Structure 1
Amino acid sequence: MSATTYALGAFILLAYTLEAITGFGSIVIALSLGALLLPIDQLLPVLVPLNICMTGFLVSRHWRLIDRRLLLGMILPGMAIGTLAGYLLLPYLDEVSLKRGFGVLILWFAGRELWRLQRKAPAREHTPNWVMRLATTAAGICHGLFASGGPLLVFALATTTLDKARLRATLVSVWFSLNSLLTLAFLLDGRLVPALPQVLLYAPLLLVGVWLGERLHRRIDERHFRIAIYALLLITGTLLLVGP
């Protein structure tokens, strides 16, 4: 196996461990790092099926904690519409534009979260429903383009009263639902089958990531962990913007 294969495996392990801890971030981390090595359109048919395997397992374990009213009434309708729009837009964007756009997205999100963590900024006031619906649709568009709607969705949900465990359970149910649809789309457009050998190659890493993530979810100081992850995202976002 090549150095690229090993490097992508390390990125996947890091990213999926993070999602097992927080409920989001697997694809945005793996894609932002992996895009330094491979085209985004080659990465997505590998990362998305891996994600549904992991989120499916987490949903089966923590389904009682899912906020179904928020999920079905607010999140999924806007996310589904946005995801379809993003998927349909994808063929009209070139690789350079995708990388630049993705770089801007992760720089904005990582910079904002680092600022909030360092300044210990107070929580925002309650977000109006129309703003949340707009934000979830925008998150869906990002998900259709990059399978990475997590940053915008977490931003939209920042003023909810969900605790850490309920937020994680609700988020992974979103990714399981939407990424199942994206995987079906990749099957229909012919991108899934060529990617299956890589999916099978990296699948064992999910077991390690979930095991680590479940343990760390209960024990780790989430603030310090997030600072390290957001700093890593700032670096990779910058590399995506200035790279070839």
Structure 2
Amino acid sequence: MIDPWLWLGFAILLAFTIETITGFGSIVIALALGALMLPIPQLLPVLVPLSVIMSGYLTWQNRHHIDWHRLSRLILPLMLTGTITGYLLMPWLGDSGLEILLGCLIVWFAAKELRRMFGGHDARPHGIKTSRGIIFIAGVTQGLFASGGPLLVYALAGIRLDKSRIRATLVTVWLTLNVTLTVLFLLDGRLIANADKIAWYLPMLVIGVMVGDFLHHRLDEELFRRAVYGVLLVTGILLVLRAIL
């Protein structure tokens, strides 16, 4: 048997390597793989502070491209409210409920992206009320799994922003929400209890970024993304089946 925390170290290394190559997914990938062997509530106080380091660096690097108007008027108020709601809901769902919800979210996200990549479907814009509702639900999934990205990107479908502005705005969202979650974990005692694990896994983040940066221009990114989504799809199905069975 593989030690669960050793497995998580591998998941973190892989997740941050993939994020450096593709620009997405460190928490989603690390959480999906880690949840195969450890309960989600044990993973989040380790993964979220590590993500703060990554998103803080990216936010500073891209600070001149942030869409502050859209961030402050539309995204952050709803995402913050949803995040706190998700955090409060977590104890009520239990480990199995969290696994099923996370698995379903991952399966939906991976299947949607694979369909888009193979079928060439363009994102359709939503009405403002629909967008607001989805953004709030994205906040709830952020509070539950620190993985609000898939739903937030879906909520913003069709909004005309150049790639630099949307990327800078999104990493600022993750920085703000993950700092919020880190403070909540500090207050409930889970951050201090996992401080040693965070310190041990920090080199995995650094190595992942270095490996990802090396591979970024040496891989076919489209093919690599398809492989990642395929792995996520299978992982999501396994999480749901394990929780049900």
Aligned mates of 1:71, 1:219 — CA distance in 2: 34
RMSD of the alignment, in Å? 1.9
Match of 1:243 in 2: 242
Specify whether residues 31 and 131 from structure 1 end up closer, same or farther in structure 2 by C-alpha distance, changes over 3 A only: same
Match of 2:150 in 1: 151
Q: How many residues align?
A: 242
Specify whether residues 36 and 226 from structure 1 end up closer, same or farther in structure 2 by C-alpha distance, changes over 3 A only: same
Match of 1:173 in 2: 172
Specify whether residues 222 and 163 from structure 1 end up closer, same or farther in structure 2 by C-alpha distance, changes over 3 A only: farther
Question: C-alpha displacement at 1:216, in angstroms?
Answer: 5.6
Whether the 8 Å contact between 2:22 and 2:225 is mirrored in structure 1 is no
Deviations 1:14-38 (A, max 9, x none): 2123333454311111111100111
Structure 1's unaligned 5+ residue stretches are none
Match of 1:64 in 2: 64
Deviations 1:197-240 (A, max 9, x none): 11001111222233344566667544322211110111110110
Deviations 1:82-140 (A, max 9, x none): 0111111111111111101111111111111111111111332x322222111110100
Aligned mates of 1:131, 1:221 — CA distance in 2: 35
Runs of 4+ in 1 over 6 A off after TM superposition: none
TM-score, structure 2 length as denominator?
0.91
Match of 1:136 in 2: 135
Specify whether residues 74 and 221 from structure 1 end up closer, same or farther in structure 2 by C-alpha distance, changes over 3 A only: farther
Aligned mates of 2:159, 2:210 — CA distance in 1: 28
The sequence identity of aligned pairs, in percent, is 52
TM-score, structure 1 length as denominator?
0.92
Structure 2's unaligned 5+ residue stretches are none
Aligned mates of 1:21, 1:198 — CA distance in 2: 25
Question: C-alpha displacement at 1:78, in angstroms?
Answer: 0.8
Whether the 8 Å contact between 1:27 and 1:48 is mirrored in structure 2 is yes
Aligned mates of 2:213, 2:146 — CA distance in 1: 23
Specify whether residues 72 and 23 from structure 1 end up closer, same or farther in structure 2 by C-alpha distance, changes over 3 A only: farther
Amino acid in the other structure paired with 1:61: Q
Whether the 8 Å contact between 1:67 and 1:170 is mirrored in structure 2 is yes
Aligned mates of 1:155, 1:165 — CA distance in 2: 18
Q: For 1:7-156, what aligned pairs fall within 5 Å after superposition?
A: 7-124=7-124, 126-156=125-155
Whether the 8 Å contact between 1:22 and 1:168 is mirrored in structure 2 is no
Question: C-alpha displacement at 1:158, in angstroms?
Answer: 2.5
